[in-house]
Structure 1
Amino acid sequence: MTDASASCHELLLKLAGRLPDRQLWRFRDWLAAGALDALAAVLPLTLLRERVAITVAESLLLNAALVDAGADPGHLNAVPWVDELGDLDYTFTSESPEWVSAGDSVAVVLGAVLQGRSEVMDVRGSWRRHRSGQGPASRIVLVTASAKWSALTGELQRVLRALGTYEPGVEVIPDSMEPPPYHEAAIAASEPLLPGFVAYRRQLVHR
């Protein structure tokens, strides 16, 4: 992964819960495909249209990710800054809004896809609802990984879409990164999505 791709992945993580899901998953799919030029053309305009303000640190990530990919400097400079972010618009819980059996198809398929991936360190799941209580709950898959973050995000998003989730919530967090508040809240309310995965990974690492 290039430095620009890593910066873009980190930025898109920080935008979780602030950009609409329908846009965020698509941007992550483009990044996984290496389409930084498409992101350079569309992401700054989307931030402006959706009135998403960013911090100074996020502005640095935005420029590091997209300047060399051809982003319009005027669009980048027009994205408003904030000193600090407001409260989260979402709450998280470990309990599904509907009963999910031990034969949960998402967990079964993800377990098969992630088997043998030495870069994957943890896989957890939680359910997100808007703080207003309106709208359906969304499943959030939280993966901690040591490498291949954007590629893994794109792959798992495609898996979830194949299983019927139109706007997949896949958050692949670098093990060296302090989770943003959105992810901290999601992790605090999460449970292991693949029982036994951590023990399995220890065996993998110590072979």
Structure 2
Amino acid sequence: MSDTVHELLLRLAGRLPDDVLWRFRDWAAGDAVVVLARVLPRTLLHDRIGLTDYEQQLLGDALIPHGADRGTISSVKGLDELPEADYTFSPESPDRVPMGDSTSVVLGATLRGRPGIGEVRSTWRLRGTETRRVLLVTATGGYTRLTGELQRVLRALGEQDPCVEVLPVEADVPPYQRAALEASELVCTGAEADGHLVPV
């Protein structure tokens, strides 16, 4: 799966519902790009989710070669700039679950020292009464497959709609992930950790 699809889905985090986004990422990781090419543009239209010019370009580049309808893509609402996120992030769980909980322990054991992995961070996203763990991982490659793998791990640990953000090490971080990073705690570091994403 191309990095273009991964980047587009990264940029849609916080705008697409979690249950939809994790499924799209799962399809991308499973090379079901033909399905994604058909469903993602229609979802954007149906849910009235707008895209910036850059995101429109990503959408077309990623999905038209796999059968996405040009008319549907061109009908997606345009945005001059990304909307402000209506989430807040916190390094502490509102339920006072420490980051040393079993999920963090499993993630640390799975990713600590792993080649291709930089930092692994975790935060809690809050909106109203809804609380979600957001996992943020930097990597040097294989972003789509790593996202799929970590989503499956989190689902096995009981998270229905896992929120996994795998960021290229040298990426320009989108606003949603930037806000999440600012309120995150370090879980572990992989073999590629070089400095910190968040000032210590």
TM-score in terms of structure 2 length: 0.92
Deviation track 1:116-170 (CA, whole Å, cap 9, x = no partner) reads: 421100000111012xxx2321000000111010000000000000110001010
* Structure 1 unaligned residues grouped into runs of 5+: none
Structure 2 counterpart of 1:16? 13
What's the secondary structure of 1:52's corresponding residue?
A: coil
**Offset at 1:193?**
1.6
Partner residue, 2:176: 182
Aligned to 2:33: 36
- Tell me the TM-score normalised to structure 1 length: 0.89
Residue 140 of structure 2 corresponds to 146
TM-fit CA distance, 1:113 = 2.0
Q: What residue identity is the alignment partner of 2:56?
A: S
CA distance in 1 between counterparts of 2:25 and 2:59 reads: 14
Q: Distance in 2 between the 1:202 and 1:22 partners?
A: 30
Partners in 2 of 1:113 and 1:86 — Cα distance? 35
> What fraction of aligned residue pairs are identical, expressed as a percent?
52
Cα RMSD over matched residues? 1.6
Residues matched between the structures, number: 194
CA distance in 1, matches of 2:167, 2:140: 8
In structure 2, list runs of 5 or more residues that go unmatched.
195-200
SS of 2:56 mapped into structure 1: helix
CA distance in 2, matches of 1:86, 1:22: 20
CA–CA distance in structure 1, aligned partners of residues 119 and 100 of structure 2: 20
Q: CA deviation at 1:108?
A: 1.5
The Cα offsets for residues 7-50 of structure 1, whole Å up to 9 and x where unpaired, read as: 01000000000000010000000000011101001000000011
Equivalents in 2 of 1:201, 1:176: separation in Å? Answer: 12
The answer to whether the 8 Å contact 2:122/2:185 transfers is yes
Q: Compared with structure 1, are the counterparts of its residues 51 and 202 closer, same or farther at alpha carbon in structure 2 (3 Å cutoff)?
A: closer
1:156 to 143, 146, 150: 150
CA distance in 2, matches of 1:75, 1:110: 39
